[in-house]
Structure 1
Amino acid sequence: MEVAEIKVSYSNNNVERIKVTNSQILYNLVVKQWDLDLIEFQEEVKIVLLNRANIVLGIYEMSKGGTSGTVVDIKIILGIALKCNASNIVITHNHPSGALEPSEPDKLITKKLKEACRILDLNLLDHLIITRQGYYSFSDNCIL
């Protein structure tokens, strides 16, 4: 009987060292990762992975969904963060409707992810909802 081999790798070829100190820097960074023609069409989730000094290690494109939702799998988020040796993470997603207020499911997944991160000694620094016009920061609004 054969068992599948599991490989874990880490590589940081990030030439530009971007330090995140506030939500505006995060927004400016992640909005560049979206196709602005699709930002009002299809919901997507991306994870920003940072080291302990809040230097960006990279951005992981987690999921693409439909016009009103997409999958946010906490196990995948945590697995990616651990594989990248991240200490801090930020979850970002767009609202195709253009609404910047978080929905109840947005609040629930943030709460669950924060608790899961705490158990693994990771920090969930923020959850950004982005649109073409701006962003909403859970951290800035004291609901993280």
Structure 2
Amino acid sequence: MNEKRTETMKNLPVSERPYEKAMEQGVEVLSDAELLAVILRTGTKDISARALAEKILTLGDPPGLPGLLHHTLPDYKAVRGIGNVKAIQLAAVGELSRRIWKAVRSGRELVFDHPAVIADYFMEEMRHMEQEHVKLLVLNTKNVLIRDVDISKGTVNASLATPRELFIEALRYRGSSVILLHNHPSGDAAPSREDCLFTKRVEEAGKLIGIPLLDHIIIGDTSYVSLKERGIL
């Protein structure tokens, strides 16, 4: 009877084991799966850490490394061989990557004076979200970003936010103007009737307080809509 040989790291030549390969040649020579395998450290009795990493990189939409920015703990735990510890490790990798990316981009002064600039900055972070998220961008007198604030996380097709919540945050950070930003999980960035009505409410509240709403930008899947460019604001 032929026995099926289980692939483990010990079965592999030393030159193909990610940890040893990194020690000898440097981490820059490792593939995406090998880098992830180093973080996972171990697989199971049936699958090596590298094969497990390859499964992770085919998980969901988008696949590959960008998926690590969007997968959740339940997503990871649905993969055979991933328990609580490995799921948290993978989620931590995604969160660290997101924070590094934002820190690097925030290291230079961000002037949000055009919708395309704003959409490009937040696109990868928001286009794969499965629920609507509303962000408030608080700007100074030169349209330089002071702070981006997560205001609400809603259902698949409706977010929850009020003008009061928005302007409390704007006043807290001493903003001179604000921009609204939210995503459409459907991928279609076209504004709904509710989006337009909410924008008008925020615009009127901003006029009363003296902190104008400059734009409301909706993020779709690789697309965006500026309500200012549409003439709605």
Q: Does 1:21 align with 2:110?
A: no
Residue of structure 2 in register with 1:60 after alignment: 149
For the aligned residues, what is the CA RMSD? 1.4
Local SS of the residue matching 2:216: strand
Identify which of 196, 205, 214 aligns with 1:125: 214
Identity %, equivalent residues = 29
| 2:202 matches 1:113 | yes
Runs of 4+ more than 4 Å apart = none
C-alpha distance in structure 1 between counterparts of 2:199 and 2:221, whole Å: 22
Residue from 62, 76, 79 that aligns with 2:168: 79
The AA in structure 1 aligned to 2:142 is: A
Residue 129 of structure 1 and its aligned partner are, at CA, apart by 0.6
Question: Scaled by the length of structure 2, what TM-score is found?
Answer: 0.53
Say which SS state the counterpart of residue 45 (structure 1) adopts. Answer: strand
Equivalent residue letter for 2:200: K
- Residue deviations 1:30-79 (CA, integer Å, cap 9, x gap): 22443x5x42x211111111001100001001111111111011111000
> Tell me, which stretches of 5 or more residues in structure 1 are unaligned?
1-13
Match of 2:132 among 43, 46, 63: 43
Displacement of 1:83 in angstroms is 0.8
TM-score, normalisation: structure 1 = 0.83
Q: Describe the SS at the equivalent of 2:225.
A: strand
Tell me the SS of whatever aligns to 1:80: helix
CA distance in 2, matches of 1:120, 1:79: 11
More relative contact order, 1 or 2 (CA 8 Å, 6+ apart): 1
Cα distance between partner residues in 2 of 1:130 and 1:66: 16
Give the residue type in structure 1 aligned to 2:194.
P
User: Per residue, is there more strand in 1 or in 2?
Assistant: 1
